[in-house]
Homo-oligomer: A and B are copies of this chain.
C-alpha cells in the first residue's frame, strides 16, 4: 500500500512518522513544492520518495492533504477530479466549513474524509515533525455520513493507530468552537508578541525581565504566518466575532484599571480563574 502526504510539514510529517512504525509494509510518498522540505522529508525518513501530485494521485490508496488551508481549497477539487475509484483523500485542515462545502459539490464526495487533528506546536515544517505529536490527541471528523464507509474505515483505522481519539462534529460547529479555543489564542499571542517587540527595542531587557509566564503566553507568536493567515480568512466570521468579544473584554478590563475599580478587576479575574477547571480537564485527557 502507498500513502501520500501532500504538504510534508509538522502535521503531515508527524502523521507519517507515527504511522510508519505500525505499518512497515506501507510506502510513504511525499508531495511538496518546497525543494528544501522534500530533502528534509527524505533525510528524516518521513517519506520514501518524492512524487508530483499527479503521480502520487495515481498510485496512492490514501492521499493526506496536509497543506495550509488555502492550498487545500485549491487542490481538493482538482484531486477529486483525478482520483481513481476506490481511493481516498483525507484533509487535515484547521477550518472545515469551506472545505466541506467544496467537497459537497463534487460527485466523488464519498471518497473524501474531512479531519482535523487537535495537535500542533509553534514550530512548522518537516524539521519540526515528530512521531509522538498525535498520541492521545483528539481528532474531529466532520460530516462522517457523507464519506463512504470504506474511506471512513480506512482513515479511522490510521488515525487510531497513530494514537488519536476520534470525535464527530458538523463543519459549522467545528469552525465556531475552533475560533474560540484555538484561532483566538493564536491572534492574542501574535498581537502580544508585536506589542512587546514594538515597545522593547532593547532585547536585553526582555531577556532579563521576562519570566516563564511571558514565554508561555507568547510562544504561539512563533507560528507560521503562511499557515495561519488562510485559517483566519476561511473562518473570518467566527474569528472576527471571537476577536471582537476579546477586544470588548480587554476594554472593560482597561476601564476598570484606569478607573481604579478594583472590585471590577477582581471579579473579571475570578471569572477567568474558572479556566483552571478546564485546564485540569485538558491535562487529564
CB atoms of A199 and B254 under 8 A apart: no
CB atoms of B269 and A197 under 8 A apart: no
Q: How far is the CB of A190 from chain B (nearest CB, A)?
A: 4
Q: Is A35 an interface residue (CB 8 A)?
A: no
CB-CB under 8 A for A191 and B272, given A121-B212, A177-B200, A198-B245: yes
Point out the residue from B181, B246, B271 that lies within 8 Å of A209, measured CB to CB.
Answer: B181
- Tally of chain A residues near chain B (CB < 8 A): 95
Beta-carbon contacts under 8 Å, A199-242 to B: 199-200, 203, 205-223, 225-226, 228-230, 232-233, 236, 239-240, 242
CB atoms of A211 and B137 under 8 A apart: yes
Q: In the complex, which residues of chain B have a beta carbon less than 8 angstroms from the beta carbon of A268?
A: 190-191, 194
CB atoms of B279 and A215 under 8 A apart: yes
> Which of A41-49, A97-105, A255-263 lies at the interface with chain B?
A255-263
CB-CB under 8 A for A203 and B281, given A210-B118, A225-B266: yes
Distance between Cα atoms of A210 and B117 in the complex (Å): 10
Could you pull out 27 A-B pairs where Cβ atoms are within 8 angstroms?
A: A119-B211, A122-B213, A138-B208, A140-B209, A178-B209, A182-B209, A182-B211, A182-B213, A182-B214, A184-B196, A190-B253, A190-B272, A191-B250, A191-B272, A193-B271, A193-B272, A195-B245, A206-B278, A207-B282, A207-B285, A210-B282, A216-B219, A216-B220, A222-B273, A225-B265, A225-B270, A229-B266
